């Protein structure tokens, strides 16, 4: 690039090009950061931990997460929908705490998604009860999908039983380490327990809503 | 060094967004792409992992038009921020003309920012480039989180940690909201273009 113009002219020319390209759509004043009308975030501590999990997973962070979920479960004990959200978060958090870096990649996505929607529910005062339930239902669907991915298929379980019966004196069996089988069984049991609790919560919620609509 | 084609009267400028993982490098490019796609008329290329993390790099090319009779083509790259992808980061840095270092303003990420800047210095040194000689802009991203009570490092602390020796332009920003994303980009393009012209003298 030859130096055909002076430095100032050149800078001006670059500025003009950039102004043409990015000029009018720069963020408006409204998008600027204003500290005057800051409202405290209702889930601030939990959000801090979620953002930390997004970065790295340590025992300390996960312990803090479980602690924060428990605190908010107490704070929102009278809001059934928020409570179910917190239980789902607690359940996934427990799974991540157990499996750390080996957790299913979708577990992190669902954790984030659950928290984003929980934030929306807690912060939006204009959401109706129906809308809140709809949001919960979508998130519950994602949770169940993950659960199904984590559960070993019935066929696999059957195969494993037959192989175990035939070669019970050998270990590892068919390349599957007993510790892995044990871990899967534990996880299965854990998820079943969590789902049972959630089902009870949803049932209660439905009963209450049904009673509310009838009255 | 920028690729200059005197015959075609064309200059290609490579700008790399560097910084710790989850700092907002991709979000910067996505904001530019979403806001100005009708003007830049190019596609953003991105390769992600399962968890929506940048696996290889993001790439956003666009033309800014003629400067001094030359067609200026800008190529924006991001690098994967995760520590384990250093080989990729080093590869993307090859032939870089300008850098945006996207620091994460969250208090818990303070050390990661410093480590990432040090990693940048080492990776540039691998190409016999000095971090003090490559045009650079610092961006302190996620300052909007302060609104939600998330602990954020004061700009003075970030300046002290990252800019005390570089002494370059810096912007507090929110890539998600678009605050200072364009200002950062304009500044690095200006600095880089000035540096290219100076080198060609």
What distance in Å separates the CA atoms of residue B69 and residue A3, rounded to the nearest whole number?
Answer: 11
Contacts of residue A25, defined as CB under 8 A and 6 or more positions apart, other chains included, come to B35, B36
Task: Enter the tokens of residue A25.
Answer: 């759509």
pTM score of the predicted model? 0.59
Residue B100, H or E segment = strand B98-104
As a whole number of Å, the end-to-end CA separation of chain B is 13
Counted residue by residue, chain B has a size of: 201
Residue B7 pLDDT grade (very low, low, confident, very high; cuts 50, 70, 90): confident
How many CB atoms sit inside 10 A of residue A113's CB?
Answer: 15
Q: State residue A31's pLDDT score.
A: 43
SS3 A197: helix
- CB-CB neighbours of A186 under 10 Å: 11
Cβ of B179: how many Cβ atoms within 10 Å? 22
Query: Quick one: closest CA in B to A119, which residue?
Result: B148
Name which of B67, B151, B183 is nearest A13 (Cβ-Cβ). Answer: B67
Task: Give the distance from residue B131's alpha carbon to the nearest chain A alpha carbon, in angstroms.
Answer: 23
Token digits of residue A34? 């204003």
* pLDDT confidence of residue B59: 87
pLDDT reported for residue B181: 96
Parallel/antiparallel/unpaired status of strands B136-141 and B169-172 = parallel
Please tell me the predicted confidence (pLDDT) of residue A67: 83
Residues of chain A positioned with their CB less than 8 A from the CB of B200: 1-3
Phi, then psi, of B138 in degrees rounded to 5: -100, 140
Please answer yes or no on whether B200 and A3 come within 8 Å at the CB atom: yes
* pLDDT tens-place values along chain A, 215 residues long: 544 456 677 788 888 888 888 876 554 444 444 434 445 567 777 877 777 776 667 777 788 888 888 888 888 888 888 988 998 998 888 888 888 777 887 888 888 889 889 988 888 878 888 888 889 889 988 898 888 888 764 444 444 444 444 434 444 444 445 555 666 666 676 677 777 777 777 777 777 777 655 54
pLDDT at A173: 43
**Nearest-by-Cβ selection for A25 from B35, B72, B186:** B35
Give the residue from chain A lying closest to B64, CA to CA.
Answer: A17
pLDDT tens for residues A42-82? 777 787 777 777 666 777 778 888 888 888 888 888 888 89
| Confidence band for B115, pLDDT divided at 50, 70 and 90 | very high
SS3 (DSSP) at B17? strand
* CATH code of the domain containing B66: 3.40.50.300
Q: Provide the residue range defining the domain that includes B185.
A: 3-199
- Name the packing angle between helices B25-40 and B181-200 (round to 10°): 80
User: What pLDDT does residue B90 have?
Assistant: 85
pLDDT at residue A200 in the model: 78
Q: How far is the C-alpha of B102 from the C-alpha of A141, rounded, in Å?
A: 36
* CB nearest A47 (choices: B150, B189, B197): B150
B contact test, residue of A11, A22, A118 with most B CBs within 10 A: A22
Residue A202 phi/psi, 5-degree rounding, is -65, -40
For residue B155, CA distances in Å to A85, B66, B108 come to 35, 36, 15
Query: How many domains does chain B contain in total?
Result: 1
CB contact under 8 A, B196 and A1: yes
């Amino acid at each position: 690039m030859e130096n055909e113009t002076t430095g100032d002219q050149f800078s001006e020319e670059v500025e003009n090009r950039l102004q043409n390209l990015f000029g009018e759509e720069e963020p408006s004043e409204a998008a600027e950061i204003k500290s005057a009308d800051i409202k405290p975030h209702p889930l601030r501590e939990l959000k801090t931990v979620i953002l930390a999990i997004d970065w790295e997973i340590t025992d300390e962070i996960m312990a803090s997460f479980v602690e924060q979920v428990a605190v908010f479960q107490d704070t929102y004990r009278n809001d059934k929908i928020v409570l179910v959200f917190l239980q789902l978060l607690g359940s996934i958090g427990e799974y991540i705490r157990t499996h750390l870096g080996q957790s299913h990649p979708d577990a992190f996505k669902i954790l984030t998604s659950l928290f984003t929607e929980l934030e929306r529910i807690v912060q939006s005062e204009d959401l109706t009860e129906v809308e809140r339930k709809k949001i919960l239902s979508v998130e519950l669907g994602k949770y169940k999908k993950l659960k199904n991915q984590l559960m070993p298929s019935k066929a696999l379980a059957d195969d494993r039983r037959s192989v175990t019966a035939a070669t019970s004196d050998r270990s590892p069996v068919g390349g599957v380490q007993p510790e892995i089988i044990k871990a899967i069984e534990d996880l299965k049991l854990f998820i079943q327990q969590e789902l049972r609790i959630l089902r009870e919560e949803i049932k209660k919620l439905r009963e209450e809503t049904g009673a509310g609509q009838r009255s | 060094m920028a690729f200059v084609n005197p015959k075609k009267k064309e200059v290609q400028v490579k700008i790399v967004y560097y910084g710790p993982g989850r700092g907002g490098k991709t979000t910067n490019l996505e904001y530019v792409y979403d806001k100005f796609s009708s003007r830049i008329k190019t596609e953003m290329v991105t390769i992600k992992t399962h968890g929506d993390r940048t696996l290889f790099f993001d790439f956003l090319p666009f033309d800014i038009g003629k400067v001094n009779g030359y067609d200026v083509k800008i190529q924006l790259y991001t690098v994967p921020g995760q520590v384990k992808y250093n080989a990729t980061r080093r590869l993307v840095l090859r032939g870089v003309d300008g850098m945006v270092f996207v620091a994460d303003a969250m208090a818990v990420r303070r050390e990661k920012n410093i480590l990432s800047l040090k990693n940048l210095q080492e990776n540039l040194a691998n190409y016999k480039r000095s971090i003090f000689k490559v045009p650079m802009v610092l961006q302190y991203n996620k300052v909007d989180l302060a609104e939600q009570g998330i602990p954020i490092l004061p700009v003075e602390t970030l300046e002290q940690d990252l800019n005390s020796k570089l002494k370059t332009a810096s912007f507090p920003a929110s890539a998600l909201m678009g605050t200072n994303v364009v200002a950062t980009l304009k500044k690095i393009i200006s600095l880089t273009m000035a540096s290219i012209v100076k080198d060609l003298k």
